[in-house]
């Protein structure tokens, strides 16, 4: 049989790779996406603030500015189509320096973003607990909240439904170029493709080395966060930022799309490292209390960190000059999530593909959780499927029906964290203390895998190494 030659092979299934994958499938191209991880969205795309920025922050005329503003506009229709939540809550940048707020306002205007300057009286009305030192603010009403991982998962699932292919746990070994196409060898498979898109985030340079394409001086910048118990409510209904600095947008306070509060991130240059640190978390406490009064950090249920990749001052989105047919995507730091759908459009242009979607595209079914449904639908579901009568995660009220449905989505996964990203099971106060083993049982039931084969997250994180009796007998 003749080997299939894909139009494009994408390396890296974060929100950027997933957006490009989805778009290419929708315009009728044959696409395969590979990732070294055991699920999509396990890099920066799972560990960020979950904000669709309005676009006032990036310098005018940069790719960051153009793609952020365009991305923000594309999100409402995209989320409606993917049937995922998006909430417009607005962003408030607060400070005591009128000139700096004016500078941001001018930048926002130049980028075509709706912005307003507020005095203290207006700020206090919106955020009654705002710190006394805050006298002036910039408000951008179009900033939005999203679940970055559910977005990535839904983009991939919809892509698969429409003929795209994704292969996880792939280790890239070598790439050869013939006149017309590339031969891509991983430890497990061989692929042929006319174009290769390197969207490997922190792994960009490793992939570029194998491809022989341009490598960049990448700075890795960690951001640590506190996540709060859902029952803990701050008197805040928008995202509050301090004035930005050279290191980024600073420590922010924001509601999440799921109803928790999130405070962070720090901005620490270093290696690709997602550990949280005492010093990082202490600095968040200090900086957040400059924004609003009376935050009880004892109500935090989890801390996490994500790593930004930074190359100079702008995104790198270009055709490789060294290897024809390779697209380099590097340094996609913030506002990468906000820009992702626009980055996909931009990549089409780089590939000389027209942005015309094919007809007859399939849409995803709704993956609304049982708790989000009305009582009649809940009753119907319970009559049809006993699994909806069983609670798996008590903190988040997630049923076994929700978990089994998530495991039946187009992209098949076998990790506890993968289930968590799709259902929120394990995201509550006890952080999986109650549901961890129940989720493992669901994964075994859905996949036929043994206990030892189920993963916590990526390869090597198996939830068990063998039967306890075997271990004791050693």
What backbone phi and psi angles, to 5 degrees, belong to 301?
Answer: -110, -10
Nearer to ligand FAD, 176 or 354 (CB): 176
Nearer to ligand FAD, 333 or 455 (CB): 333
Q: Tell me if 345 contacts ligand FAD by CB under 6 A.
A: no
Of 9, 15, 123, 263, which one interacts with ligand FAD (CB under 6 A)?
A: 15
Nearer to ligand FAD, 218 or 442 (CB): 218
Nearer to ligand FAD, 10 or 391 (CB): 10
In the bound complex, what is the minimum distance in angstroms from residue 46's beta carbon to ligand FAD?
Answer: 7
Asked if residue 177 lies in contact with residue 322, where contact means CB atoms within 8 angstroms, the answer is no
DSSP letters, 118-167, are EEHHHHHHH-TTB-TT--EEEEETT-EEE-HHHHHHHHHHHHHHTT-EEE
Rounded CA-CA distance 470/462 in Å is: 16
Of 53, 144, 249, 422, the active-site residue reads 53
The structure tokens listed for 454 are: 């189920």
Rounded CA-CA distance 145/337 in Å is: 11
Of 32, 37, 392, 446, which one interacts with ligand FAD (CB under 6 A)?
A: 37
53 is catalytic: yes
Could you give the string, one character per residue 274-313, with x where binding to ligand FAD holds by CB under 6 A and - elsewhere?
--------------------------------xxx-----
The structure tokens listed for 35 are: 């990732």
Handedness of CA 325, 330, 335, 340 (dihedral sign): positive
CA 396 vs CA 335, 367, 391, 417, 455: distances in Å: 29, 16, 9, 15, 21
Residues near 20 by beta carbon (within 8 Å), at least 6 away in sequence? 8, 10, 197, 199, 343, 344, 347
Could you give the string, one character per residue 197-236, with x where binding to ligand FAD holds by CB under 6 A and - elsewhere?
--xxxxx--xx---------------x-------------
Binding window for ligand FAD (CB under 6 A); candidates: 101-109, 333-341, 355-363, 442-450: 333-341
**E strand map for 382-456:** 391-393, 398-399
Within 172-191, which residues bind ligand FAD (CB under 6 A)? 172
Nearer to ligand FAD, 328 or 387 (CB): 328
What backbone phi and psi angles, to 5 degrees, belong to 460?
Answer: 95, -10
Q: Tell me if 11 contacts ligand FAD by CB under 6 A.
A: yes
Q: Give the catalytic positions in this structure.
A: 53
Contact residues toward ligand FAD (CB under 6 A) are: 11-17, 34-37, 42-45, 47-51, 53, 172, 199-203, 206-207, 223, 265, 306-308, 332-338
């Amino acid at each position: 049989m003749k080997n299939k030659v894909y139009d494009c092979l994408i390396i890296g299934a974060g929100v950027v790779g997933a957006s490009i994958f989805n778009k290419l499938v929708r315009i009728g191209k044959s696409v395969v996406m590979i990732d070294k991880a055991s699920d999509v969205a396990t890099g920066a795309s799972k560990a960020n603030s979950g904000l669709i920025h309005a676009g006032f922050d990036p310098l005018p005329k940069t790719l960051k500015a153009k793609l952020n503003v365009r991305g923000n506009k594309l999100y409402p229709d995209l989320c409606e189509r993917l049937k995922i939540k998006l909430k417009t809550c607005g962003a408030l940048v607060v400070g005591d320096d009128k000139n700096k707020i004016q500078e941001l306002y001018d930048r926002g205007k130049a980028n075509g973003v709706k912005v307003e300057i507020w005095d203290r009286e207006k700020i206090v009305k919106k955020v009654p607990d705002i710190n006394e030192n805050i006298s002036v603010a910039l408000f951008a009403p179009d900033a939005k909240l999203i679940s970055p991982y559910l977005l990535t998962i839904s983009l991939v699932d919809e892509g698969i439904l429409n003929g795209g292919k994704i292969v996880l746990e792939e280790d890239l070994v070598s790439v050869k170029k013939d006149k017309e196409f590339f031969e891509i060898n991983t430890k497990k498979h061989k692929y042929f493709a006319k174009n290769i898109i390197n969207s490997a985030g922190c792994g960009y340079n490793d992939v570029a080395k194998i491809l022989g394409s341009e490598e960049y001086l990448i700075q890795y910048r960690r951001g640590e966060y506190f996540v709060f118990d859902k029952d803990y409510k701050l008197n805040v209904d928008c995202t509050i930022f301090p004035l930005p600095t050279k290191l980024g947008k600073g420590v922010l306070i924001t509601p999440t799309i799921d109803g928790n509060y999130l405070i962070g991130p720090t901005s620490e240059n270093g290696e690709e490292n997602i550990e949280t640190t005492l010093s990082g978390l202490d600095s968040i406490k200090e900086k957040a209390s400059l924004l609003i009064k009376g935050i009880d950090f004892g109500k935090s249920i989890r801390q996490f960190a994500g790593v930004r990749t930074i190359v100079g001052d702008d995104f790198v989105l270009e055709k490789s000059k060294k290897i024809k047919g390779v697209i380099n995507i590097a340094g996609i730091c913030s506002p990468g999530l906000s820009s992702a759908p626009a980055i996909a459009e931009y990549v089409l242009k780089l590939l000389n593909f027209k942005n015309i979607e094919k007809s007859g595209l399939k849409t995803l079914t709704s993956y609304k959780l049982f708790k989000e449904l009305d009582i009649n639908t809940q009753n119907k579901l319970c009559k049809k499927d006993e699994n909806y009568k069983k609670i798996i995660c008590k903190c988040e009220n997630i049923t076994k029906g929700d978990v089994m449905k998530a495991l039946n989505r187009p992209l098949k996964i076998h990790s506890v964290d993968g289930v968590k990203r799709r259902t929120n099971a394990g995201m509550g106060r006890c952080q999986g203390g109650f549901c961890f083993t129940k989720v493992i049982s669901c994964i075994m039931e859905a996949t036929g895998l043994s206990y030892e084969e189920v993963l916590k997250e990526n390869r090597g994180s198996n939830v068990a190494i063998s039967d306890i009796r075997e271990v004791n007998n050693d």
